[in-house]
Structure 1
Amino acid sequence: MPEIVINARKAAIGPGLMVNRILPFRMRRMVGPFIFMDHAGPVRLSTEKGPAMDVLPHPHIGLSTVSYLFKGNVTHRDSLGVKQVIEPGEVNWMTAGKGIAHSERFEDPAVLAGGQLEMIQTWVALPEKDEESDPTFFNYQKDRLPVFEEKGLWMRQIAGEAYGLKSNVPTHSPLFYLHVELQKGYRLNVPDEYEERGLYIAKGSLELGSQVYKAGQLLVFGKFEQASVRALENCTIMLLGGEPVGERFIWWNFVSSRKERIEQAKDDWKQGRIVLPPDDKEAFIPLPEDKFRRKDPPPEALS
């Protein structure tokens, strides 16, 4: 049985975009190195409301952001000068290291009007030795990611290694991350070779033992615990986890093993020491008020 079941909560990441927030959760802040997980969409907005969804430039430190789309497209710009449109099945892997700023804009009105935007974004905490590394960005097209399929099952290895599949996406610590499609009745064993593992149901419902779990739930399994799930209908799930990297502090878009580094990042953003994207610098997200010293990201925390 799961060690804990996390129900997604609604969160706003901009005036026009509500998401299901899965991680962090007060009783389970991380699964392996994964410290943040949002599921957005399917999104349907009128053309005139589309620009309100844009996520203006904002900073990150101490993590890698991993963007994966089921449907639609998003334009990424960052302070390295990268401009990249991500399409379904691709991976945008941005490592913030010592500091980067980026924006995410929804520039295709037809996608929003047609309800054709759905994406998952996770953050992966960096090991201490990599927290102050130089920022990088890579896009991996779907033909570079391994896929396995058999009757009732299709899976894509987004990052890491599991089920005999190994992704080409470089990672900083041992982990796995997969997009899996199950047909009704298929039984799948959850990988058990990692210390911490999670299964997020993006669509559908499944059975574990005598319990039924539904879309919007993250099932977290204990150390090396074996688990087998059966799809009660056609399901889309995300499997993720890996080896722990140690305690991390998270505030807004900043992650670090040291509280004082979070404070430095706040000042760096206020003082303009984290550079804005060169072709997206007319406006940006200011540092939120820090009245209550929250441990979790405030509701407007950005991806």
Structure 2
Amino acid sequence: MTLISIKFQNDSKAENKLIDLSSPKIMGILNITPDSFFAKSRYNADIDLLIEKAAEMLKQGATFIDIGGYSTRPNAAEVSTNEEIDRVVPAIEAIVKNLPDAILSIDTFRSKVAQAAIHAGAAIINDIAGGNLDEFMFKTVAELNVPYILMHSRGNPQTMSSLNQYDNLTLEIIHELNEKVLQLRLLGVKDIIIDPGFGFAKDSKQGFELMKNLKTFDVMNMPILVGISRKSMIWRTLGVSADDALNGTTALNMYALTQGAKILRVHDVKEANETLKLYEELC
């Protein structure tokens, strides 16, 4: 059994909730940005629409909802720390107020944003930089005592595309992640989820190699999150656009589940949950 402890910051009972990741879960994506690569995932500052979309995701089967205020697609525009906080905190506060059972993660590589989001009611930190872009991130995670999604990446959104040189893709990623895990454990961080980082300092061919080797990450003995929803490794291979990449996403999500993925981070919760239900019938 793989359990992570979720703290509901605004829960009057101040009780932790244990989430069992022995059976896979769905994480829905809510972007408070004007420029995320998939246009239909952008909700900007329309709070009512955000609450409506979050409620829909929960109804469709999402266990987690991932809130992001900075597009981390390759070559994304820079966003200041204050602007990122101004985007995500009101959204988190509104969702927590209206949907108190929602488990929110904050998608950020900045410790100040992570801290503000957790205090606003988020329960998980999802760091696409794995601590590389903020020297205080690991210390902040330890102090906040919340689950941490450690993603593999190199560089930043503006430079990552040029940093995809590997001698042995899978082993180097595992090695780099293990170094970070050791740092986190020494600080007392207990709940760590691993994300191999599809599309981050990896091209499409490397993405498929990583997917084929996903089972190798079992050696880390931590839950694996897979986020390939509508990414370029899918739509470029199929010769379509991100808008038309749902079928390809579903196919790879099913494969990821068979290779041990415990969280699917997706734009399309309904379809991912249907995939998960069919996968569970095969187990």
Range class of TM-score, shorter chain: 0.3 to 0.5
Return the TM-score normalized by structure 2.
0.33
Higher relative contact order (CA 8 A, sep 6+): 1
Give 1 or 2: higher helix fraction. Answer: 2
Larger radius of gyration: 1
Give 1 or 2: higher strand fraction. Answer: 1
Return the TM-score normalized by structure 1.
0.32
